[in-house]
Structure 1
């Protein structure tokens, strides 16, 4: 065991790293981390042009607006209020980015408070962590204080379901254990009902508030009730919808995503703990022994969530993020960590640091800085009045970080095209500069070498951004060398060139 003083120094060091990765790391794992939050709140609060993905369609919205506004909307509103009050210019995209990351940096501290030290920054993971905290409180405090934590748990459950309905999978074992614990302490059915019914009314009230907020946001009137969790489930129950996002083998969560999130060593420890618990349960069957509520709840949560989520053919690692804290708590409280050697800690540290650098800094790391750079160019009227921006072979850029006024897009002063992974022919067909004073192309430097001379001769390098790792085109990046292969290029197209 390490001393408290040494632990505090380690904790401060980890927080320092977390702050650096949050505020300085521009890499991102998936476009959804922008499109499901900051892109929406910025579009509503700022005059900037943004893109709303299918989740936010007014016809069938599957995301509640409340979690988004509660996390990034509030700090953006305060920034807009103070900046517009004292300055003439709007909120700069760099400040937007830092505010969004800072909001989730602060929220991640709730996981630390819940039980253990820092892990996921996702809202769902935070709410699962808080639910486990309330379960522990409920199992320990007196009857008088149980009601207080039951109300908090009710609020957390409703917020979790409206954040992502998959919260039900992670929360079901917690709800089951809470029911058992409260029934045991109440001793009679009447006392139990008196204890749990008021929190249920709290849950109903909070649910009604979410429904009203979403209905007013998407419909503009109280008519036509919007139930985003129901829409979410209906969308994901349709196999044709999931096929649009990619289909995966059913074993991907268990054999690939879980070890990738935690590392193979921690995953192996989890398996050992679950097996040991099953053996211990069989050996003590019918005997009186103290039940470890938290441990059994987490084991149930792991088994249930992996089973249910593996039934879905669309499987991404981020779907398992809420298991981060429960799994670490499970491993840390079994005593097995006391028997592992230095090799375990060194390998785990290296594994986590490598993945943090890979996804926090390198992976698509040039996209956000390229938007900041283009913002400075588009804001300079001396360079022209009509601007066309083309992104090719990158993740979807979050346009609120470009900081272009929506009015300029509507009038045609600024045009934006995201070609994603389009073919070279489609890319060439989009390079019509006749209607624009200037056209910028943003693409990995490696992809420029795949273009014919008729196109590359018209592409003048404006700036390269390092680092930018494009995992979808590793072979092309390796062909031109490590340095250029890890760069994103911002190019200016010469006017009157013929590209086809």
Structure 2
């Protein structure tokens, strides 16, 4: 049973269950790297699909609402982000005045705005750990080895502590697997006793024995509709969070519906009753989520409710909009089309490394047994192994049908994968010397690969964005009213909520005159992706011209930055040299920063930028670099460089 006492036993040091020391070390690492914080920036969706939108409403600040939240055609449900990220952001809003007054700590700074929501998500991620632990306990499996493997995965340390909708999807999937596994075990026990009593009843020779057996049979608990309300609720919420959850929910619900089917006491009547009841239980929560979205996006107002005058146009179903949007190939092309083998051949090995290899070997051997007709050696369809195997294969196969494939889409598959193969990485007493050696090599490989990927995705990938946002926030607050222009290229967008920009849509009232007014924006963020340098500097020219006009006509002081990876230094300076009336001055460099849009090229023997940075040669650039200098120069290009743009004056000539 999923009880509070069980959860407390599993996550506190006072519990009777002795979890391995390695697991507690990994728990501390998960919290520690969240506090640090992780500077890596995995994907814009970790901010712009959730925390950016909710922060804008709670703090009443200017944020960037993406096309997914466009009221004309919304495709994102707002209930889950509000429930998950609302509490930590409301905590910051409520507590901040007291921390500033008593301790001089401002919680509305990039560090706390980044870390506090992540800590809350990190706490929720332990639902995955607990679900895996409880499933292992229910079925008498080794939970210690599996928990260590699970907690050491970079998916858990990095992805599961970020506010991705995929992170929430993984939590819902874990809960679903736990409850279905529990229902399967309970049904198996009750069906076994039911069949046993039925046989004894038929064999009984006296009426007294038959009555006694009949009473025992009547006292068996109901199991057919176990957890139906919770399961239906989790499935509906998961689908509204991400419609792709249908692929993850299908195997567990399939196994839940088929519990005991084919036995003497469970027939197709029970199967159809389960389906009908499951659908019926999902209707109320679906209607609630539709109501929430319809109200949030302005389709349904209180006036409509009070007048009881509404039509189909008053309702919005975000999962249907999501499917409509993604069914159009033109829309998918905007976000990038991928080959359908990408998940299987690239993303699965990238995410699961050693476990992925073990899964491929097992699936290949099971396919071979099926072809050869050795059905007895295949996992039993109604077993926990069958549940986990189908919960691993079906979602990945279904998501592989779509031409837009990102690695984070399949991170929930980690839970069944660890259950199936996590224990096989640890040597045991029955293994021979060569087998034990192989397992140790695989185990060390798992730890090394995941530690490396934790460092890469947690701290290096797009790692300069947060540091730049931190600097930008301090400058904006220190020079209030000065216009700030930022153009970024070949990097992800800066999350606006970290800058705490005052709202330009809120209506303020002047205390003296009583007049109402709105603030004009003073910070402008431009994100131009991988735009060619010539086109980029055309934009720079336009922005600078506008800033200079406001300076001369309205005395609006400004600062103007261009943020670009250091690997584009040569191309940037070459394009800037064509504009004689403004110049670029390097202001900051942030290390480390890696982006796939601008991977540095390994320098040659006479790279002019390496010569200047390493050898400080003033006159001649024709100097041979040794290998150490070239490697050093190469790693120095993994940074984000910030240039200040200003017009050329007579003092520069």
| Residues 268 and 164 of structure 1, relative CA distance in 2, 3 Å threshold | same
**2:53–2:65 Cα contact (<8 Å) kept:** yes
CA distance in 2, matches of 1:336, 1:13: 18
SS in 1 for 2:504: helix
CA offsets 1:10-47 (integer angstroms, 9 cap, x no match): 11111122223333111122111111111111122122
Mapped partners of 1:145, 1:77: distance in 2:
41
Give deviations 1:364-399, integer Å, cap 9, x for gaps: 0110121111000011127x6222222222112211
Q: CA offsets per residue over residues 145-183 of structure 1, 9 Å max, x none?
A: 775522221111111111111111111111111011165
Q: 1:86, CA displacement in angstroms? A: 6.8
Is there any run of 5+ residues in structure 2 with no aligned partner, and where? Answer: 1-15, 134-146, 161-166, 191-220, 302-309, 429-434, 506-517, 551-556, 611-632
Give the match for residue 447 of structure 1: 568
TM-fit CA distance, 1:56: 1.2
Picking from 364, 388, 395, the partner of 2:462 is 364
Aligned residues: CA RMSD? 3.1
Partner of 1:475: 600
2:474 paired with 1:376: yes
What SS does the corresponding residue of 1:25 show, helix, strand or coil? coil
Alignment of 1:21-40 (within 5 A): 21-23=33-35, 24-40=37-53
The size of the alignment, in residue pairs, is 493
Indicate how the Cα distance of structure 1 residues 461 and 22 shifts in structure 2: closer, same or farther if over 3 A, else same: same
Larger Rg: 2
1:338-417 maps to which residues of 2 (within 5 A)? 339=435, 340-381=438-479, 385-407=482-504, 411-417=520-526
Counterpart of 2:561 in 1: which secondary structure?
A: strand
2:579 is the counterpart of 1:490: no
State whether structure 2 residue 352 is matched by structure 1 residue 274.
Answer: no
Shift of 1:239: 0.7
Q: How does 1:28-427 map to 2 (within 5 A)?
A: 28-84=41-97, 91-116=108-133, 117=147, 118=151, 119=156, 121=160, 122-141=167-186, 143-144=221-222, 147=225, 149-181=227-259, 187=266, 198-219=277-298, 221=300, 224-263=314-353, 265-278=354-367, 285=375, 293-332=383-422, 339=435, 340-381=438-479, 385-407=482-504, 411-427=520-536
How big is the shift at 1:439? Answer: 1.2
Alignment check: 8 A CA contact 1:468 1:486 kept? yes
The alpha-carbon distance between structure 1 residues 123 and 146, as it changes in their structure 2 partners (threshold 3 A), is farther
Determine the C-alpha separation between the residues in 2 that align with 1:353 and 1:233: 37
TM-score (norm 1): 0.89
Give unmatched runs, 5+ long, in structure 1.
none
1:459 and 2:584 are equivalent in the alignment: yes
Contact kept in structure 1, 2:425 and 2:439, CA below 8 Å = no
Change in CA separation of 1:415 and 1:106 when aligned onto 2, cut-off 3 Å: same
| Bigger relative contact order, structure 1 or 2 (CA pairs below 8 A, ≥6 apart) | 1
Q: TM-score, normalised by structure 2?
A: 0.69
Matched residue SS, 1:407: coil
User: How far apart are the structure 1 equivalents of 2:107 and 2:393?
Assistant: 49
What residue in structure 1 maps to residue 618 of structure 2? none
